[in-house]
Chains A and B, each alone.
Chain A
Amino acid sequence: MSSDFDPKIIAFACNWCSYAGADLAGVSRMQYPPSVRLIRLMCSGMLAPSYILKAFEKGADGVLVTG
């Protein structure tokens, strides 16, 4: 399997927890691959399963749900 493609990952993040964690990663200049497209939710309880299915249908290579 080829491993040199650039995956597109949709991530859902809670404003108070993981979104803040992602902010901290930025402030600390921790480098990571530019694969993730983060969608901010106010709470991970907002995440409907349909969002995940939709992301895959539209071609996301991966979906990350962070609470």
Chain B
Amino acid sequence: MSNKMVGAVLMVGGGIGGVQASLDLAESGFKVYLVEEKPCIGGVMAQLDKTYPTNDCSACIFSPKLQTLAQNPNIEILAYSSLERLEGEAGNMRAVVRERARYVDKEKCTSCGTCAAKCPVRVENPYNFGHDTIKAIYKDYAQGIPPVYTINPQHCRTFRGKKCGVCKKVCPAGAIDYEQQDQVIELEVGAVILSLGYQLLDVARLGEYGYGRYPNVVTNLEMERILSASGPFEGVITRPSDGGHPHKIAWIQCVGSRDPGKGMPHCSSICCMASIKEAVITREHDASIEPTIFYIDIRAHGKGFDEYYERAKTDGVVRFVRCMVSRLVEDPVTKSLHITYVDEHGKLTTETFDMVVLATGLRTSDECRQLAERLGVQLNEFNFCSTSSFEPVQTSRPGVFVAGMFQGPKAIPGTVTQASAAAGASARLLAPARGTLTVKKEFPPEKPVAGLEPRIGVFVCRCGINIASTVDVPSVVEQMKEVPGVAYAGENLFTCSQDTQTDIKRIIQEYDLNRIVVASCTPRTHLPLFQETAREAGLNRYLVEMANIREHCSWVHMKEKEKATDKAVDLIKMAVARSRRLEQVQDHQLPMEQSALVVGGGVAGMVSALNIAGQGFSVDLVEATDRLGGHALQLDQTLKGEQIKPFVEDITARVMSEERIRVHFNAKIDSVEGFVGNFKTTVSTNGGEPVEVKHGVAVVATGAGEWKPDVYGYGTDPRIRTHLEISQAFTKKDSTVLNAETTVFIQCVGSRGKDRPWCSRVCCNHSVMHAIALKEANPDAKVYILYRDIRTFGLNEPNYAKARKLGVVFVRYEAAEPPVVEVGPKITVKVKDQLLKETITISADSLVLASAIIPYEGNRELARMFKVSTGQEGFFLEAHMKLRPVDFATEGVFLAGLAHYPKTMDETVAQAEAAGAHAAQVLARGYVDAPGMVSVVDEFLCRGCGRCVDICPFQVPELKEVSPGMLRSEINPALCKGCGACGVACPTGAAAIRHFKDDQIGDMIDAALA
């Protein structure tokens, strides 16, 4: 390349996709410019109430990421800005960004809110869809980043030529600047990532279901705001027309989606689960509400989704009605809505609801399309960014990558995965320029606290209503003020938000605090955030303690408010007691083995390995068989119709010729020792000596199997095939398949049942694809698909429409009345058609069973070796289902492909790129952070008895002769895992774990029982 590589990336879009990619890139050694159109970053995820299938509060899981981002010195946020032009070639580009005038100086504004409090102009709040009001100077949400207010000149009196200027007068920081102009900024970058998000179809313009005219008809996103504690009604479910409490709420699915007439032939993919979740959460808020969901097919095609759907259904919480809604009219007096529909028995019914939620379809916005055109990035026929299944984050323009909804409708984990994949692809492109434009974060010196009287600050979190609706937070705060050593106690709406971090730092200075206790959620996710904040304020990280009053209290004692409050007080008192005893502890860095081990030589494993190698690190690839390719070798084409074989051949050749990759064929992992940075894995190859591989990180990409059915006559007749077998038959052009007069596909064979409750995700698409191929080859062939719900999610939906148009017959059956197969001269399939309510009999020549994708038996053993988890069903369990889809909870181990859950080719490739990217990110750091929470031996107390040597599971303590006959135990802090076993075994109390000393725990016990 003639041009020099630029070690910076322009990230366009500040939603969860943009945030994830920015964090990944900054961690990997690249400077990031994050451009967001709105005044604050956060995107749609910041507007959501809860997320499925875990019911995690969206703000709670997202805030730490936003916070980490805001604290990162290598990410520059350009909010209220847009990308205007992009010139140059991949690796070296010049971007022109326009930052719009806010009329508020972002350097001076402290986000105190005085301006908005005094502003005399009240306008509808678009962030809450007009369900409440804001001022002409505003911030979208309290925790918004950057924490800067913005004047809307359309509403501001000063801009409308009237006498005002109030905000300028009251602003204590002198930040208001009515003369401010747009700034045009030129940036040098090496790559660009587009994560532009989506918008809802404009239902008001279509006049669909009276939206816009009937106040009690709202969209899915409005419902999120209505449910949200920080929303217009503070989480109280409220009817917009009269402020009353609704009792019957209906959700109508597929509004605009799956409807070519509305220009939306695609399925929006997320609305079924979003509605089910909203219905479940609605009930959680108010158990007297009766939710009903009107749907065509329930598309619960992700990990844990079908189980969630079944729970909502069987717990009797949500009523599901499969129908098309034919009419919706408003009662002019009560403003309730009469919904007319044909029920499952074919009867025309009218029912009245207090409120209706429209599961409105999603699309790319006009602005996104215009941007794509300006950048020369191609869109597909559905106006989403065009990509291939084999390079799912590569746009048509080199150096420009895509992630998230802009590439196609998908849920948060898919967006996060693609974001990491796009970051990985950028990092690979710009690998030579890594670290050239980044700076290291500087901290103030640590304040010594040894010997000082404890001055403890207690921050009690309301967590919106998550804690405050059960625990009486003000009373807790009052009780804390009485506890000895507590110098400050206060409450926050969201303690994890950016503005609260600023507050905490200020309070630490103001009250001269030397310990802080945060009473909020689990330290497992949030402790690092508060540690960082404390460190920025000059406190050692280990002087922060948390009390978990959410997961361990408010969420599990929702019906016992008083006792929950008592328990919260106890938990915080325990934390305060412990914090009194806390001491400064220093972390250190350990050297790292800068190489990776990838387990599995299928598409996921190979793509991960190529990404890691492409970033300059060596890889050992372990494959159980004698060839690379895995199940992809048996597949014919992708859902987009791309041939799979050439792709697999290409990446296999690249793996084999890549000098940084060493492939172990016919290989098996015998044992794994060590931890991130220093793993030692023993690999044995058929007949050969086992070899020891040292590696710093690992990727698990072992794939999944196909269930061999014991139903529908499988195994008794060669004309009955599974999906993998039909793929191979197509590849071989098997005439008994291709020329069959009548073909029947049976869906959900072994999936979505008692033994295997999950949806195998790909089978509906796969069957529809093959049904189309059969019909196109032979229009006279009869093709039937027997299904429960057709799940051709996202951009695959048009295939379903096409199959129906070609004459493929779709027959819905109920799980309780499965089809019956009899094998004779013909294969007789009898099925009760749920539409006609009668049994039909089909004589078939070929029967295809859409058999379940199942986890391998060996997963649990492998999981044990790598100290990672599997879910109940046996697939590997990621660190967090929404936000960490390619990481394990165990540091340095990553996950890709079907080992995680069934997925399509493009999803597998994206996840593999992402896993590779995260693995390389750890390797690029070059060292491992070793926590200082290790064992230390007090040499005066140690008698050299050696019990610690015997008990240590990691063989760390050593007995050294310090003088003739005098033995002392020594513990290497670099090797100690901090398990504390030595401390327990030590008879004299010489060995103790820093940060978990006896008195620190003992005082907690005292406090709990005081």
A-to-B contact residues, CB < 8 Å = 6, 8, 10, 15-16, 19-20, 22-23, 25-34, 36-43, 45-51, 54-55, 58-60
Contacts and interface: CB of A to CB of B under 8 A. Distances in A.
Contacts of B312: none
Given A28-B55, A34-B567, A37-B1008, A45 B556 contact: no
Nearest to B545: A40
B55 A27 contact: yes
A20 to B, nearest CB: 6
B181 interface: no
Contact of A8 (B551, B998, B1009): B1009
A31 B953 contact: no
A42 B978 contact: yes
Count chain A CB atoms within 10 A of each CB in B555, B564, B574 and give the residue with the most: B555
A22 B55 contact: no
17 contacts: A8-B1008, A19-B524, A23-B524, A23-B551, A29-B284, A29-B556, A31-B558, A31-B559, A33-B560, A34-B564, A34-B566, A41-B980, A46-B996, A54-B1002, A54-B1005, A55-B1005, A55-B1009
Contact of A46 (B558, B567, B571, B979): B979
Given A20-B524, A41-B996, A60-B1009, A30 B1001 contact: no
Nearest to A25: B556
A37 B981 contact: no
A25 B557 contact: no
A42 B980 contact: yes
Contact of B551 (A10, A25, A49): A25
Nearest to B982: A45
Size range of the chain B interface in the assembly: 35 or more
Interface in B559-577: 559-560, 563-564, 566-567, 570-571, 574
Interface string B264-308: 000000000000000000001000000000000000000000000
B523 interface: yes
Count chain A CB atoms within 10 A of each CB in B556, B564, B889 and give the residue with the most: B556
B949 to A, nearest CB: 15
Contacts of A40: 523
Given A10-B1008, A26-B552, A45-B980, 11 more contacts: A8-B1008, A8-B1009, A19-B524, A26-B548, A33-B557, A33-B560, A43-B980, A50-B998, A54-B1005, A60-B1005, A60-B1008
Contact of B558 (A29, A51, A60): A29
B200 interface: no
Contact of B980 (A29, A31, A36, A46): A46
B1004 interface: yes
Contacts of A36: 552
B1001 A37 contact: no
Contact of A39 (B564, B566, B1004): B1004
B240 interface: no
Contacts of A42: 933, 978-980, 993, 996
Contact of B563 (A34, A41, A48): A34
Given A43-B980, A45-B953, A58-B1005, A29 B552 contact: no
B1002 A51 contact: yes
A45 B1009 contact: no
B371 interface: no
B918 interface: no
A42 B979 CA distance: 6
Contacts of A55: 1005, 1008-1009
Contact of A27 (B54, B553, B564, B978): B54
B1005 A10 contact: yes
Contacts of A23: 522, 524, 548, 551-552
Nearest to B984: A48
B574 A15 contact: no
Q: Enumerate the 3 nearest inter-chain pairs by beta-carbon distance, A residue then B residue, closest first.
A: A26-B551, A46-B980, A45-B981
Contacts of B524: 15, 19-20, 23
Contacts of B571: 37-38
Nearest to A40: B523
B980 A37 contact: no
B535 interface: no
Contacts of A38: 548, 552, 571
Interface in B872-891: 889
A11 to B, nearest CB: 10
B556 A37 contact: no
Contact of B550 (A20, A26, A39): A26
Count chain A CB atoms within 10 A of each CB in B564, B570, B1001 and give the residue with the most: B1001
B1009 A39 contact: no
A37 B555 contact: no
A40 B1001 CA distance: 9
Contacts of B996: 41-42, 46
Contact of B574 (A30, A33, A37): A37
B879 to A, nearest CB: 10
A47 B1001 CA distance: 10
B1006 interface: yes
Interface in B604-633: none
A47 to B, nearest CB: 7
B550 A58 contact: no
Contacts of A48: 983-984, 998
B56 interface: yes
Contacts of A29: 55, 284, 555-556, 558
Contact of B979 (A10, A28, A32, A45): A45
B556 A32 contact: yes
Given A29-B558, A54-B1005, A58-B1006, A45 B984 contact: yes
Count chain A CB atoms within 10 A of each CB in B524, B550, B558, B1009 and give the residue with the most: B1009
Contacts of A20: 524, 889
A39 B570 CA distance: 11
Nearest to B560: A34
A35 to B, nearest CB: 8
Nearest to A39: B1004
A15 B1005 CA distance: 17
A11 B556 CA distance: 16
Contacts of B981: 43, 45-46
A4 to B, nearest CB: 13
Given A29-B284, A37-B574, A55-B1005, A22 B998 contact: no
B479 to A, nearest CB: 16
A31 B1008 contact: no
Interface string B985-1010: 00000000100101001101110110
Contacts of B1009: 8, 10, 55, 58-60
A41 B566 CA distance: 23
Contacts of B548: 23, 26, 38
Contact of A34 (B523, B557, B980): B557
A30 B552 CA distance: 10
B551 A22 contact: yes
Contacts of A26: 522, 548, 550-552, 555-556
Interface in B881-920: 889
Contact of A30 (B556, B559, B1002): B556
A64 to B, nearest CB: 13
Interface in B529-562: 548, 550-553, 555-560
Nearest to B551: A26
A20 B525 CA distance: 10
Contacts of A30: 556
A30 B953 CA distance: 35
Nearest to A46: B980
Nearest to B978: A42
A43 B392 CA distance: 41
A30 B284 CA distance: 12
A16 B567 CA distance: 23
B983 A37 contact: no
Contacts of A37: 567, 570-571, 574, 1008
Given A26-B556, A27-B55, A58-B1005, A6 B980 contact: no
Contacts of B553: 34
Given A20-B524, A45-B981, A28 B54 contact: yes
